[in-house]
A and B are shown apart, each in its own frame.
Chain A
Amino acid sequence: MNGVAMHIANGIVNAQVSAVFAAIAAAALAICVWRGRADLDDRLAPMAGLVAAFIFAVQMLNFQVLPGVSGHLLGGTLAVVLVGPWVGALCVSTVLIIQCLLFADGGLTALGLNITNMAVIGTAAGYLLVAGLLRLLPKTPRGVAVTAFVASIVSVVVASQAFVIEYALGGTTELSLGTIAASMAGAHVLIGIGEGLIAAVTVATVARVRPDLVYALRRFRTTRPAVATQKTVGAQA
């Protein structure tokens, strides 16, 4: 059995700082439930369950990025494109909670840290990029694919730096923060590229098969004439 640990383990960041971030994560999730309910209708709820299950599956697929270093998808950007920011953050959190409680991955004490980094900050960064890029790019399968690719890279690197901040606040070993930040950023640019490719293929596929199920194609404002939206409505009618 290969000992796979993919998220922050117990004891890396001290208990006090972990507790603070558990409170931050809980508050953020409460806001996501509150705001997410407006998006969650009969159509989005099963889709969100699928997105969570899909992220769980893909997180198991570690790919090599450097000799001796691998990485896996975090999923925030993918979730934003398919089910929106609020529900998306809840999807990633669901995965992290199940991984922690059933699969012993990501410490229970560190759950708040992991949720804050990957589900809250990673998803928020992905959301800002997706919302911004979809004002410029066409709302087509190719447009959302490029959006997902770029947003994933930024989101993963931002999430990795959130860990560095947590470590600066409550790290249990005296180490140079600059070294940690550089090493995390370096590895996570490569992981982000891998995640970006997976997310791009996934959202492009869904956008081709069922454009009506892609949140980003329905909701985000665009400065271009909404050709894709008209096509979607036409296909449904």
Chain B
Amino acid sequence: MRKRLGWFVAGGLLVAALLAGVVSSFASSSPDGLDAAAREGCTFDADDNITGGTCMAQQEQDHQMKDSPLADYGIKGIDNEYLSTGLSGILGVAVTFAIGGGVFWLVRRRGNHDEHENDGDRAASGATSA
């Protein structure tokens, strides 16, 4: 059971890495629904600076993390766009799984696994530590 869950999670992570690492380069680069609504009513120059009109994005400020090495889903210093986007995506999947999975593992309910008949060794070790 534990082993099979491990394989399932590994398979899922592989799919996520492929989506973030490869498919992401072919995603639409148009502004998303929110961003498009925020820009409605303003005119923009080639550098995306507001040149006139009234819109929600007028008072928009820079991101505090804009100098992050991963800012805007790329890796600073890698000029190849596919490589930069793809690697940042794979890194994002890895970090999200590590931090998310790590925190969920730490706060999980321990011991007393009566309702799950298949928890095997983990349930046993949980019971001894409880």
Q: List residues of A whose CB falls within 8 A of some B CB.
A: 1-12, 33, 36-50, 52-54, 56-58, 60-66, 68-72, 87, 90-91, 94-95, 98-105, 107-109, 160, 163, 167, 171-175, 179-180, 183-184, 187-188, 190-191, 209-210, 213, 236
B30 close to chain A: CB less than 8 A: yes
Question: What chain A residues lie within 8 Å of B54 (beta carbons)?
Answer: 173-175
**Contact of A172 with B59 in the complex, beta carbons under 8 Å:** yes
**Contact of A50 with B24 in the complex, beta carbons under 8 Å:** no
**Contact of B63 with A187 in the complex, beta carbons under 8 Å:** no
**Contact of B100 with A102 in the complex, beta carbons under 8 Å:** no
Which of A1, A50, A63, A102 makes the CB contact (< 8 A) with B68? A102
**Contact of B72 with A46 in the complex, beta carbons under 8 Å:** no
**Contact of B28 with A37 in the complex, beta carbons under 8 Å:** no
B interface residue count range (under 10 / 10 to 19 / 20 to 34 / 35 or more): 35 or more
Question: What chain B residues lie within 8 Å of A54 (beta carbons)?
Answer: 12, 15-16, 19
Question: What chain A residues lie within 8 Å of B94 (beta carbons)?
Answer: 53
Question: What chain A residues lie within 8 Å of B119 (beta carbons)?
Answer: 41-43
Question: What chain A residues lie within 8 Å of B20 (beta carbons)?
Answer: 56-57, 60
Which of B12, B19, B27, B126 makes the CB contact (< 8 A) with A42? B126
> Max chain B CB contacts within 10 Å: which of A50, A58, A160?
A50
With both chains docked as a complex, state the minimum distance between the C-beta of B62 and any C-beta of chain A, in angstroms.
7
Question: What chain A residues lie within 8 Å of B72 (beta carbons)?
Answer: 1-5, 103-105
Cβ contacts A to B, 7 pairs, < 8 Å: A9-B63, A12-B38, A41-B116, A49-B105, A58-B19, A167-B56, A180-B37
Contact A60:B59 (CB < 8 A) given known A103-B72, A187-B36: no
CA gap between A45 and B122 in the complex, in Å = 13
**Contact of B16 with A57 in the complex, beta carbons under 8 Å:** yes
With both chains docked as a complex, state the minimum distance between the C-beta of A228 and any C-beta of chain B, in angstroms.
18
Contact A180:B105 (CB < 8 A) given known A43-B116, A68-B36: no
Question: What chain A residues lie within 8 Å of B60 (beta carbons)?
Answer: 9-12
**Contact of B33 with A160 in the complex, beta carbons under 8 Å:** yes
Query: Which residue of chain A is the closest to B71 with respect to CB atoms?
Result: A104
CA gap between A147 and B95 in the complex, in Å = 30
**Contact of B104 with A90 in the complex, beta carbons under 8 Å:** yes
Query: Which residue of chain B is the closest to A209 with respect to CB atoms?
Result: B8
**Contact of B100 with A43 in the complex, beta carbons under 8 Å:** no
Contact A62:B71 (CB < 8 A) given known A11-B61, A42-B126, A173-B54: no
B130 close to chain A: CB less than 8 A: no
CA gap between A94 and B103 in the complex, in Å = 10
With both chains docked as a complex, state the minimum distance between the C-beta of B116 and any C-beta of chain A, in angstroms.
6
B48 close to chain A: CB less than 8 A: yes
Question: What chain B residues lie within 8 Å of A65 (beta carbons)?
Answer: 33
Which of A2, A108, A163, A173 makes the CB contact (< 8 A) with B34? A163
Contact A62:B55 (CB < 8 A) given known A8-B34, A53-B16, A53-B100: no
| CB contact list, B91-120 vs A, under 8 A | 92-105, 107-109, 113, 116-119
CA gap between A221 and B84 in the complex, in Å = 46
Which of A1, A43, A53, A64 makes the CB contact (< 8 A) with B96? A53
Query: Which residue of chain B is the closest to A9 with respect to CB atoms?
Result: B60
**Contact of B109 with A62 in the complex, beta carbons under 8 Å:** no
CA gap between A217 and B28 in the complex, in Å = 34
Query: Which residue of chain B is the closest to A87 with respect to CB atoms?
Result: B104
Query: Which residue of chain B is the closest to A11 with respect to CB atoms?
Result: B61
**Contact of A45 with B101 in the complex, beta carbons under 8 Å:** yes
CA gap between A63 and B29 in the complex, in Å = 9
